[in-house]
Amino acid sequence: MSRFKVLQFNMQFGQVWRDHDPDNAPLDLAQSIAEIQAHDADIILLQEVERALPGGVQPAVPPNFTRLQAALPGYHGFFSYPKPDPRELPFGVGLAIFSRTPLVDTFRVDLPSPPVEFEFLGEKKTPTDRLLIGASTEIGGRKLRLLNTHLLALFMLHSSSEAHNGQRQRVAEELQRHAGPTILTGDFNVSRHESLVRQFAAVGYRTVQTSEVTWRRRPYVLDHIFYNAPLRPVSHAVRPTPASDHHVLVAEMEFAE
């Protein structure tokens, strides 16, 4: 098999989308699971798998990831929370990789957040750190490295990742560590995505698409599937879904000759 299908999805811990009141929409993890299953992807990369708990508590057995594992028989999975932090707010946390082929050499990298102050429910806060995870697998006898991340949404804190570029730079450094076939996916939370695309192009990576919006709340291209020269995209699509405030991004990839 030289071709494989990649699914990129910020699943917003199972909170569905409601146009009239998105912040108070119900949780329906079954709908998230059905959306993921429907795409029949070989590699699935997810952000906001779990919902952060008060005080930064992280259950040893992550409940949503555990349900996903049960619903995806035949897939190998890897999950990680970000670094525990009592400042965590009740949004989505945790990254996951699923693959039909075994995952090896798994790792995680903490991405420090800048001390940008913001107000939440009338209190001054500073953001918690973010995360990059990775693993390797083999498809058709070819080794493939998989990276997955979820960066801080600095545009929501009245700043930008151009002004505070540390997380992006740390991811770019990880991209440069290996020259072999590599996929990087994630919710990069960069409102002006052109600067991100240029930054990663400088280290040899392209994204499968930059024209279709991937977030419901604002017309931004936040979600990407980046790839390097040993790979090429055959097709891609942004699939709107009511299962999250993000759309699903899928791409069929192949190894370049």
Closest-CA residue to 155 (of 127, 184, 123): 127
Q: Do residues 246 and 217 touch, judged by C-beta distance below 8 A?
A: no
Using one digit for the tens of pLDDT, what is the confidence trace for 48-91? Answer: 999 999 999 999 999 999 999 999 999 999 999 999 999 999 99
pLDDT of residue 67: 98
pLDDT of residue 2: 81
Residue at token pair 């906001």:
48
Between 257 and 205, whose confidence is greater?
205
Domain ranges (residues) in the chain: 3-255
118: exposed, middle or buried (Cβ count in 10 Å: 0-12, 13-18, 19+): middle
pLDDT of residue 1: 56
pLDDT of residue 209: 98
Question: What is the overall mean pLDDT for the chain?
Answer: 97
Q: Which CATH number fits domain 3-255: 3.60.15.10, 3.40.50.360, 3.60.10.10, 3.30.750.210?
A: 3.60.10.10
Q: What is the DSSP string of the chain?
A: --EEEEEEEE-GGGBPP-TT-GGGPPB-HHHHHHHHHHT--SEEEEE--EEPPGGG---SS-HHHHHHHHHSTT-EEEEE-----TT--SSEE-EEEEESS--EEEEEEEEPPP---EEETTEEE-PPPEEEEEEEEEETTEEEEEEEEE---GGGGT--TTTS-HHHHHHHHHHTT--S-EEEEEE---SSHHHHHHHHHTTTEEES-SSS--BSSSS---EEEEEETTEEEEEEEEE--TTSSB-EEEEEEEE--
pTM score, whole prediction: 0.97
CA distance 114 to 228: 29
CA distance 221 to 243: 18
